[in-house]
Every structure is written in structure tokens, then in C-alpha cells.
């Protein structure tokens, strides 16, 4: 990514964040605390971030080296990719809002509809456009992560026992999909990108630690009582929160989604769109600032993955973010 | 499948086995919530998270939080039926459009592989559902 593209990423992300915060402050005064604020702020977050990302597109000038005619490598397209991706985001937003309401069943049904419909839509609107199909099918996989919990007994405490199994199912799904579509692992950055993995890991740790501190401030979570089961609890969280969650999410968001979007649009825009997906998928926290934080963290992690051509620093940063959050909340 | 992917899956399977020994019972607080947030919407999370931004809202009071938690639980339980039905339909579609039965339209022939990943995922979920039911029956 060139310096110009980095500037464009910042130009798009920073105003979106500032605008959201200003609007959020106004909404807070008008609506007060409550569920209404949660729903309205989710809508505002999506509208503002999408608006800035699309606005950046209309203002962007084609670079001299950009192909002027329709590129064969990019394949034919009937709808602008930006428009279809925006519609996908709106669909996922609706699904998440319903899932996190008293209409959860409608949310599940919407997830199921998207899961089955998106591969079909991608096939119909551009069957020869490989990366567009991958983008649609990745969103279908994202929705599948909402369905994969269905076989297990629901309940916060009992579910924690099944979380590793659920993540294993998700990763098996991703690995099978990548194999089925014959996507090279280097293409989705599941390699060190020719760089020293240790240095990439250190870079990730350096980025992830402050992210964890910020997220702790954002969430202000209640204490986690470790008690006598010190080794078990720390070990469980290091493994599951630290590694399972980060590997699965990074493979999906910064691996498959970012890569497929990047093939169809400018890199800064792919970073923006994939981060909006990441933010929207964090609506379950019922915390507008956490959604905004996830968006910002998504931009940083995507930028890391893009510039290093490797998921290693993004996985390390994500793992550290989650683990620092746990350590700060832990009461020994 | 690429060797790296096999290693990744092995790591997850090994880690999952390890967590059998690591999972304290019961797990309390953030760890439980964070673990479930990505794959389930943690409607229950707010009640154990303490004071997020919209704490002291109607959401964290018993009424709405309980209603959402109840709706979510019901939705997850019900979703098993939908996923099971979908899996059966997709398997039937996959079988019915198999080229080995004879000529089919180009559209269906090309659509079939598009739905194969979804068919596989839905079928695995159906299988896990059955396994969990059996395990709980003998528990």
C-alpha cells in the first residue's frame, strides 16, 4: 500500500469515527441510555462508515497505471462491487440487530437465508468472477458462524465448555472451503509472506497490547474470578480467547474477506468494507463504542495484514488484545 | 488439503481435547462471554459484563435482558429444525442434480458445486446435532 493509499484509508476511517462519536454524543443526550440508543447507534455507525467509504470512491481519481477499459483479469461485472458489498453489509446488520433482540428467531432465519442465498446470488450475478464469488461465499461463512452454535445446549456457563468445539468446526469449515475453491494459502496471507515470523509476531504483540488496554476501557468489564483454578482458567483463556478466536476470525475477515474484496476494489476500500463487517459482527456486545472499537481495530489489523502480506501479525495482535482484556479483568 | 491446513485443524482438535482438562467448572465472568461473543450474540453477556456503556439501561434490568435471553435461547433451539431441514433439502438437491443420472440443464449443473460447501456445512451441523442429542440422552 502506497503512502497515498494509507492517507486515503485514514481520510475515510477517521472522519467516520469522529462523525459517529459526535452523533453518538447527541443521541445520548436525546435518547438517554437504553435499547433504542443501541439500535439507532448501530444504524448510524453503519450508515456513516459506509457513507464515507463510498464517498471516498466517488472522489478517488484513477491512478495513471490503472487499466482504463474492462479488465479481463477482473472479469465481467453487472453491478458495481461497492454496491453489492454495501447491500451485504446492510443484510448482515439487519440479521445482527434481529438476533440481538426479542426477535432472535427472525435473526436466525435471516442468517439461514443469507447462508444459502449468497452463493446462489454470486453465481447468478457473476459466475465467472471468481473473487466476487469468494466474497459472497465468505459472507455466507460468516453467517454460518451464527448457526454453528445451534447443536449445543444454550446457556452461558455450559456454552463455554463447547466453545472450543464450535471454533474447531468453524476452522474445519474454513479449511475445507479454501481447499474446495483451490485458493492458494499465500493468496489469503496464511503464510509469513517471506518475512521473519518472529518479527511479525513481535509486531503483532506491540500492536495488540495497547488495543487490549483500549478495549478494556471501552468495555469496562466486571471482574473474572479465577480463584483456585488459576492455571486452568489462564490456560483456557490463552488457548481459546488468545488463539482459537483470533485464528478463526483473522482467517475469515483478514484472510478470505479482505483478499476477495481487494481483488475487486482499491485496497483502502477493501480495508474499510471488511472493517465495517467486523464492527457489525460485534453488535452482540450491546455497546456502541465496542462496535466502533472493532471497526477501528479491524482497520489496523487489515492494514497490518495488507502491508506484511501475512496474517501472523494480525493474529498475534488479535490474540494479545483478547488476552490482555482477560488479564485486566481477572481477579486472582 | 494443504499440509498447513491439516496442521491447523490438528492444532484445534488437540487444543479442544486439552480444554477438557482446562475448563474450570463453572467458568465465571468475562472469559465465558468473550469466548461466545463471536459465534453467538451474547445477549446474556450484558448481565455479567458489569457496566458497559449502556449499563443502567432498560437492557440490563431484568425485564428486557431476560426477554432477549429467552428469545435467543428459543431461537437457537428452534434453529436446529431449520438447519436439519435445510441439510436434507440440500442433500436431495445435490443428489437429484448429479450428472450421473443423465442430462440436466447447464444452470443446475453449474449451480450444484456452488452449494456444495453449504451442503457440507449443513450436513455436518445436522450430524453434530444428532451426536449431541445422543450424548445428552445417555447422560
User: Hey, where are the domains in chain A?
Assistant: 3-59+81-331
Rounded to whole angstroms, the Cα distance separating A45 from A150 reads: 29
What grid cell was written down for B28?
Answer: 465465571
Nearest to A284 among B45, B55, B59 (CB): B45
What grid cell was written down for A100?
Answer: 440481538
Rounded to whole angstroms, the Cα distance separating A5 from A272 reads: 12
Chain B, window 8-27: residues with a beta carbon less than 8 angstroms from a chain A beta carbon = 8-9, 12-13, 15-16, 18-19, 21-27
pLDDT at residue B77, as a whole number: 81
For residue A252, what is the nearest residue in chain B, using CA coordinates?
B38
Judged on CB neighbours under 10 Å (0-12, 13-18, 19+), A103 is middle
Chain B, window 76-95: residues with a beta carbon less than 8 angstroms from a chain A beta carbon = 76-80, 82-83, 86, 90
Rounded to whole angstroms, the Cα distance separating B37 from A219 reads: 13
Mean pLDDT for each consecutive 10-residue tract of chain A (332 residues)? 75 87 87 79 92 72 46 52 90 92 90 93 84 92 89 62 85 92 90 86 93 88 70 82 91 94 89 94 86 93 92 94 86 66
pTM for this model (two decimals): 0.86
Q: How many residues does the structure list for chain A?
A: 332
Rounded to whole angstroms, the Cα distance separating A234 from A46 reads: 35
Q: Any idea which residue has 481447499 for its cell?
A: A179
C-beta atoms of A127 and B13 within 8 A: no
pLDDT at residue A154, as a whole number: 63
For residue B50, what is the nearest residue in chain A, using CA coordinates?
A222
As a whole number, mean pLDDT of residues B29-46 equals 40
DSSP string across B8-56: HHHHHHHHHHHHHHH--SS--THHHHHHHHTTS--TTHHHHHB--TTTT
Per-residue burial over A8-28, b = 16 or more CB atoms within 10 Å of its CB, e = otherwise: bbeebbebbbebbeebbeebe
pLDDT at residue A321, as a whole number: 93
As a whole number, mean pLDDT of residues B84-89 equals 92
How remote is the C-alpha of A150 from its chain's centroid? Answer: 22
Say if residue B41's pLDDT is above 90.
no
Which residues from B are below 8 Å from A220, CB to CB? 50-52
Name the least confident of A81-95, A163-177, B45-59, B94-108. B45-59
Nearest to A241 among B34, B80, B120 (CB): B34
pLDDT at residue A171, as a whole number: 92
For residue B90, what is the nearest residue in chain A, using CA coordinates?
A116
Q: Establish if B30 touches chain A: CB-CB under 8 angstroms.
A: yes
Q: Any idea which residue has 439501561 for its cell?
A: B57
pLDDT at residue B54, as a whole number: 41
Cβ neighbours of residue A71 closer than 8 Å, sequence gap 6 or more: none
Closest chain A C-alpha to B18 CA, distance in angstroms = 9
Helix (H), strand (E) at residue A294: helix A288-308
Closest alpha carbon to A114 in A87, A81, A75: A87
Rounded to whole angstroms, the Cα distance separating B16 from B23 reads: 10
- The sign of the dihedral angle between the CA atoms of B60, A279, A218, A230 is positive
Rounded to whole angstroms, the Cα distance separating A73 from A66 reads: 13
Chain B, window 94-113: residues with a beta carbon less than 8 angstroms from a chain A beta carbon = 110-111
Q: Where are the domains of chain B?
A: 1-39, 53-138
Per-residue confidence at B64, pLDDT binned at 50, 70, 90?
confident
Phi and psi angles of residue A331, each rounded to the nearest 5 degrees, phi first: -120, 110
Residues B135 and A191 sit within 8 Å (Cβ to Cβ):
no
For residue A250, what is the nearest residue in chain B, using CA coordinates?
B38
C-beta atoms of A222 and B77 within 8 A: no
Amino acid at each position: 500500500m502506497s503512502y497515498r493509499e494509507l492517507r486515503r484509508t485514514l481520510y475515510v476511517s477517521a472522519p467516520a469515527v469522529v462523525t459517529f462519536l459526535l452523533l453518538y454524543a447527541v443521541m445520548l443526550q436525546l435518547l438517554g441510555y437504553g435499547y433504542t440508543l443501541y439500535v439507532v447507534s448501530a444504524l448510524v455507525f453503519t450508515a456513516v462508515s459506509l457513507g464515507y467509504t463510498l464517498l471516498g470512491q466517488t472522489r478517488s481519481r484513477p491512478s495513471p497505471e490503472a487499466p482504463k477499459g474492462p479488465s479481463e483479469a477482473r472479469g465481467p461485472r453487472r453491478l458495481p462491487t461497492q454496491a453489492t458489498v454495501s447491500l451485504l453489509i446492510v443484510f448482515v446488520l439487519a440479521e445482527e440487530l434481529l438476533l440481538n433482540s426479542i426477535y432472535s428467531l427472525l435473526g436466525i432465519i435471516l442468517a439461514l437465508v443469507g447462508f444459502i442465498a449468497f452463493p446462489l446470488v454470486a453465481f447468478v450475478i457473476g459466475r465467472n468472477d471468481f473473487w466476487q464469488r469468494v466474497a459472497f461465499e465468505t459472507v455466507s461463512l460468516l453467517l454460518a458462524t451464527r448457526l454453528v452454535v445451534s447443536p449445543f445446549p444454550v446457556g452461558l456457563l455450559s456454552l463455554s465448555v463447547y466453545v472450543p468445539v464450535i471454533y474447531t468446526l468453524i476452522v474445519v469449515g474454513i479449511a475445507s472451503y479454501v481447499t474446495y475453491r483451490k485458493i492458494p494459502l499465500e493468496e489469503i496471507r496464511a503464510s509469513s509472506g517471506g518475512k521473519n515470523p518472529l518479527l511479525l509476531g513481535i509486531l503483532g504483540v506491540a500492536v495488540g497490547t495497547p488495543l487490549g488496554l483500549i478495549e478494556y476501557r471501552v468495555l469496562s468489564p466486571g471482574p473474572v474470578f479465577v480463584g483456585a483454578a488459576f492455571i486452568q482458567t489462564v490456560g483456557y483463556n490463552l488457548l481459546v480467547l488468545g488463539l482459537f478466536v483470533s485464528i478463526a476470525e483473522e482467517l475469515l475477515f483478514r484472510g478470505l474477506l479482505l483478499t476477495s474484496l481487494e481483488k475487486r476494489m482499491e485496497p483502502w476500500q477493501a480495508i474499510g468494507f471488511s472493517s465495517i463487517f467486523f464492527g457489525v459482527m460485534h453488535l452482540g456486545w450491546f455497546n456502541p463504542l465496542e462496535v466502533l472499537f472493532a471497526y477501528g481495530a479491524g482497520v489496523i489489523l487489515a492494514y497490518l495484514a495488507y502491508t506484511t502480506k501475512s496474517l501472523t501479525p494480525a493474529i498475534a495482535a488479535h490474540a494479545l488484545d483478547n488476552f490482555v482484556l482477560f488479564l485486566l479483568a481477572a481477579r486472582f | 488439503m494443504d499440509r498447513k491446513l491439516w496442521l491447523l485443524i490438528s492444532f484445534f482438535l488437540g487444543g479442544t481435547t486439552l480444554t477438557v482438562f482446562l475448563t474450570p467448572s463453572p467458568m465465571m465472568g468475562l472469559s465465558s462471554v468473550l469466548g461466545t461473543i463471536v459465534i453467538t450474540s451474547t445477549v446474556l453477556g450484558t448481565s455479567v459484563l458489569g457496566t458497559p456503556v449502556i449499563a443502567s439501561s432498560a437492557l440490563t434490568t431484568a425485564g428486557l435482558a431476560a426477554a432477549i435471553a429467552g428469545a435467543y435461547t428459543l431461537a437457537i433451539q428452534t434453529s436446529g429444525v431449520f438447519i436439519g431441514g435445510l441439510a436434507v433439502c440440500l442433500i436431495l438437491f445435490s443428489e437429484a442434480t448429479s450428472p450421473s443420472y443423465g442430462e440436466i440443464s447447464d444452470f443446475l449443473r453449474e449451480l450444484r458445486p456452488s452449494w456444495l460447501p453449504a451442503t457440507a456445512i449443513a450436513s455436518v451441523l445436522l450430524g453434530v446435532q444428532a451426536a449431541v442429542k445422543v450424548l445428552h440422552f445417555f447422560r
